[in-house]
Every structure is written in structure tokens, then in C-alpha cells.
Amino acid sequence: MPFRSMLPSNQNPPVGLNAAKMAKYRDAMPENYVKEQVVFT
């Protein structure tokens, strides 16, 4: 099944929609980042 956008072609996505929520949690996120490099074998 090919990708089909749900937005009309003349509309841009609302990229600032969750900006306040993302800013609120941005400082708390680094503790959840992976510290070691992941190696897939």
C-alpha cells in the first residue's frame, strides 16, 4: 500500500502544535537516552 498523506495538498502540518509540551519535558529526556552504543549482531 503506497503512502498517502491525510492532509490536503495545500495544507502544511502543524509543526508547532506540541511545542510547549515538548519544551516542558526536554530537560528530563537525557536521562532516558542510551549511554552505550548499541551493536546489533
pLDDT in tens, 1-34: 999 999 999 999 999 999 999 999 999 999 989 8
Q: Which grid coordinates belong to 20?
A: 510547549
Cell 552505550 sits on residue? 36
Given a contact cutoff of 8 angstroms between Cβ atoms, the answer to whether 16 and 23 are in contact is no
User: What pLDDT is recorded for position 38?
Assistant: 87
What span, in angstroms and rounded, lies between the C-alpha atoms of 30 and 33? 5
Got the DSSP string for 10-34? T----TTTTHHHHHHHHTTGGGGS-
User: What pLDDT is recorded for position 41?
Assistant: 87
pTM over 0.85: no
What span, in angstroms and rounded, lies between the C-alpha atoms of 38 and 29? 18
User: What pLDDT is recorded for position 17?
Assistant: 94
